[in-house]
Amino acid sequence: MNTAITPLRSGLEEKIWSRDTDYEMLAAWWWALDGWEPPPLQVLPDTGVILSRTGEPVCAGFWLISDNAPMAYLLFPVFSPDCSLKLLPMAAKVLFQRLADHALASGASQIATPGGNAAMRRIAENNTDLSPNSIPVYTAYWTSNSKRIVAMEE
């Protein structure tokens, strides 16, 4: 397990998340979102990052690579309830970029984000420079009652 903290040009620091030490904190963040129930520990990928500023965690997210296609999924973004509204947009953009960078380094050639997550959808729509290769980012839109994909847009 890599617990090294990597400074980023944005002024944020990144570390790979740890199931053993980080889940309780992330679960508390999800509960703070108007009582959202956290995803169970066993469904979270091992591939995730936590971004911090001056040692204080501000956000986290995960990426998952498909077993049978070079597609990555960016999943479960969550922000500290203590993250300032001033920092939030920049932290969200950096989180999306870092997840995409890790997904590409893991072998993905395309990326999908759950369209039901409005924040991830907005970040994906506004972040057009994901890589030198301008890889496609797809947003899946879900129906509210059946949770099934009704459209995918590039």
pLDDT one-digit tens code per residue, 11-69:
999 999 999 999 999 999 999 887 778 899 999 999 999 999 999 999 999 999 988 98
| pLDDT at res. 143 | 32
High-pLDDT (> 70) share of the chain, %: 71
CA–CA separation, 91 and 110 (whole Å): 22
pLDDT at 6 over 50: yes
Closest listed residue to residue 57, CA positions, set 34, 37, 27, 35:
27
For the chain, the straight-line distance linking the first and the last C-alpha, in angstroms and rounded, comes to 34
As a whole number of angstroms, the distance between CA 48 and CA 46 comes to 6
Return d(Cα 35, Cα 57) in angstroms, integer: 20
CA–CA distances in Å: residue 7 to residues 74, 105, 147, 148: 21, 18, 37, 38
- Let me know: does 74 contact 99? Beta carbons within 8 Å: yes
Domain 6-153, CATH class in plain words: alpha beta
Q: State pTM to two decimals.
A: 0.76
| pLDDT at position 120 over 80 | no
